[in-house]
Amino acid sequence: MKPLLILLAIGLTATAYAAPQEVPKGSDLRAYLFDLARPGVEQEARKTVKFAGSLKQLNGWAFFNGSIVDGSGNKIMAGDAQSADTVVLWKKSGNNWRLVAYIVGMTDVGYAGWSEKYGAPEELFP
């Protein structure tokens, strides 16, 4: 019975590792990724922005799903749809991250198809 428990423990660990992990608030990586996205997002929003929402990473990819907000936490409406909803995708190459795609002011699932288009893992997307 002990070998079975060991195999179950190994399987649970492997499964947990394969799931997207939240990039902690206040971390250097979170700040760095948002700094990569900020110029383009701010150009579309026509304002200085902060990001409020979930930033997850998996296998050299990172995905943000949330809103753009001002310094007080108020949502910034942008884009044709006048929405604060924003998504951003990054990919790590070697030691460097690069911005792959973003959508500001969306009203539907704008990132649908990003897995196929960019090769990002489907598990990264909600």
Q: Are strands 50-58 and 61-69 parallel, antiparallel or unpaired?
A: antiparallel
Q: Which residues pair with 61 in a beta bridge?
A: 58, 91
Range of the domain at 53: 22-124
Q: Percentage of the chain with pLDDT > 90? A: 77
Domain annotation covers residue 15 = no
Q: How much is the pLDDT for 41?
A: 96
Q: Give me the DSSP letters along 19-73.
A: S-EEPPTT-HHHHHHHHHHHHHHHHHHTS--EEEEEEEEETTEEEEEEEEE-TTS
Whether the per-residue pLDDT at 11 is higher than 90: the answer is no
Domain annotation covers residue 89 = yes
Domain annotation covers residue 8 = no
Q: How far apart are CA 104 and CA 87, in angstroms?
A: 7
Domain annotation covers residue 87 = yes
Domain annotation covers residue 92 = yes
Q: How much is the pLDDT for 108?
A: 82
Domain annotation covers residue 13 = no
Q: How much is the pLDDT for 33?
A: 98
Domain annotation covers residue 101 = yes
CB 49 within 8 A of CB 76: yes
Read off the pTM. 0.84
- Containing 7, the helix (H) or strand (E) segment is helix 2-18
